[in-house]
Structures are given as C-alpha cells and as structure tokens.
Amino acid sequence: MHKTDFEDLKTLVENRIGQILRDDQNKRIENRLTPIVRRNHLDSISALITQVTREPEGTLADDVIDAITTRETFFFRDESPFNALADKVFPALTQTRDKTRPLRVWSCAASTGQEPYSIAITADQILRRHWDGDLDILGTDVSKYAVEKAKQGAYSQIDVQRTVPARIMVRYFEKNKTRWQLQRSIRNQVRFRQFNLLDNFSTLGEFDVIFCRNVLSQLTDEKRADVVARLTQQLAPDGILVVGTLETLIGLDTPFKAVERARGFYTLADPNEVVPEIALDKATAGRRR
Ligand SMILES: C[S@@+](CC[C@H](N)C(=O)[O-])C[C@H]1O[C@@H](n2cnc3c(N)ncnc32)[C@H](O)[C@@H]1O
C-alpha cells in the first residue's frame, strides 16, 4: 500500500481503537484490506480509507477493524489465571459479597469468546459449591466479527483440543457436525456485545473482576494509560484486575497494586486482604488436565 495511504490508515486506526500499526505490517494489512475493496466495488485501498475516515462508525469501518485486529486467543490461556480465579479469587469473593446482587466479571477484550467462556466454566466448577447468588459475565470486543463468533459458542476441533482439558471437553462441549458447541448453560452465563475500550465505560456498571488481557500491549502509551485509569472507576474497591501474563502496569501512574505471586493480578485494595496468601505453585498448575 502506498506510504501516504498507510499513514492515513495509521491515524484512522489509532483514533478509532487506540492501536499503533507498524510499518512492517503494511503488506499484510494490504492483503487483508484488498478483499474489502473488491467486495464493496471500490477503486482502491485509498478510496476505502477515505470512506472509512468519513464514516468511522459505519459497517465499512467495522470490516476494516476486523481485518486489522489481532484476535489470537485460547481457552484457559496461560492456565495460571484460571487456577487463581478458581482457588483464591472466587472463594474470597463468595465470603465478602452480598448475594442480593450478582457477582460481576468483565472480559473487556474477549475476542471470539474463549476467555469469558473459560471464566464461566471455572465459575461453574467452583461457585456452584459456594454461591447461590447470580453471576453476570460480560464479554466485549471492538471486533464485530469476534463478537458474532463468540455469541455462537461453537469452535473447531483444533480450538478446543489445543488447550481444553479432556474432562472439561467431555463435560461442557457437545459435538455438532464438525464443530464443538458449548453447552447452553455455559453460553447463557455470558453476555456479549461490541464495545470499544476507548468509549465511556460508565454505562457498564461496577465489576468484581475485570479481565483485560493481551490488549493493553497493543495500545499506544497514551491510550493504555487512559484505559487503565478509567478501569479503576469500574472495579469494586476490593475487585481484581487481570492483565496478560506478559503485560504489566509497571511504569503507569495508577493506584493498582500487584498481587504477589499471581502474575498479572492487580487490586486497588490491600492485596493480602483481597486474595489471602495467593499461591500459584507448580502443584496447582496442570491440575485441571
Ligand atoms: C489478542 S486478543 C486477546 C483476547 C483475550 N483477552 C486473550 O487474552 O486471549 C486482543 C483483542 O483485543 C481487541 N481489541 C483491540 N483493540 C480494542 C479496543 N480498542 N477495544 C476493544 N477491544 C479491542 C481485539 O479485537 C482482539 O480481539
């Protein structure tokens, strides 16, 4: 793609979803945008960018975002966050929460749904023993394609076999022709909607746990700082923010405190009170397999 078109696209993407495109992505992105140009009978990528700049919230803009976003995700990604949720966070919340309101979890860059469904399965295994209140899991993503796929809750053999332990697969998935369909009870546990992290969060309400994994690292420094600052407003005072295991809030001016030995877990309160003696040693890793 011509350098000036790529510069225009960079500005558009940064303004719309807060991501930086690198110059070495030019060819790959051109390959992804070309089918959109053809499908919409446009003359060129330049014409596509002009149209999307004019209408940054339109369906063409959604197609461009779908083509650009990196949506890699797996069930139980990195395993340890789900072990910590099961062993420490959910049990601690059941002690401190009032059952008159639901426990609320937000997966704010949910991609095609594997993360919030992993949370729902973890909750089903742990909470039903300790919690008879409601559970509300919200999965959001800026990609329209990802949200539509997440709502279906149907995955390929590779998606499922890759990281879902056999006993979870047998218990929570049903084979439907070539796809593995998540059981209705788990699908019903998660609400999905398209939502941009650059938009105002205040209509979403307060959450006990927020998963914001493997998206902060894709944002510009300015947008990352802004998103984290606004997440503090949506998290319960003793709630937990979970970022990717290779991500960190170090270097950002935030009131979040890291939970010791639970990589990627942060809280606004005293970590030792919120998640007492969180222990993520080798003994728990792999326990779900
Ligand atoms: C690499 S995936 C991470 C998925 C999941 N959280 C995980 O860790 O497996 C990143 C997701 O962030 C979404 N994303 C990127 N920018 C976003 C934004 N501004 N608002 C909401 N979602 C965004 C992308 O569409 C993509 O699905």
Residue-wise pLDDT for 18-28, tens only, equals 999 999 999 99
User: pLDDT per residue over 136-155, tens digit each?
Assistant: 999 999 999 999 999 999 99
pTM given for the model: 0.94
Q: Which atom of ligand 1 is nearest to the CA of 112?
A: 27
State which ligand 1 atom lies nearest to the alpha carbon of 74: 9
Ligand 1 neighbour 152 (Cβ under 6 A) = no
Give the Cα separation of 135 and 270 in Å (integer). 24
- Please work out whether the CB of residue 230 comes within 6 Å of at least one atom of ligand 1: no
**Which ligand 1 atom sits nearest the alpha carbon of residue 227?**
19
- Tell me if 141 CB under 6 Å of ligand 1: yes
Structural tokens at position 181: 């369909």
Task: State the Cα–Cα distance between residues 145 and 194, nearest whole angstrom.
Answer: 9
Q: Number of helices and strands (H, E) in the chain?
A: 13, 10
CA of 62 to the centre of ligand 1 (A): 14
| Residue for token pair 């105002």 | 200
Residue 154 C-alpha to ligand 1 middle, in angstroms? 19
Residue 226: pLDDT band with limits 50, 70, 90 = very high
Q: What local confidence, expressed as pLDDT, does residue 275 receive? A: 78
Distances (CA, A) of 83 to 75, 118, 274, 280: 13, 11, 16, 8
Res 260: pLDDT:
84
Q: How far is the CA of 109 from the centre of ligand 1 (A)?
A: 4
Domains in the chain, CATH or no CATH each: 3-68 (1.10.155.10), 80-274 (3.40.50.150)
Distance in angstroms (rounded) separating the CA atoms of residues 105 and 205: 11
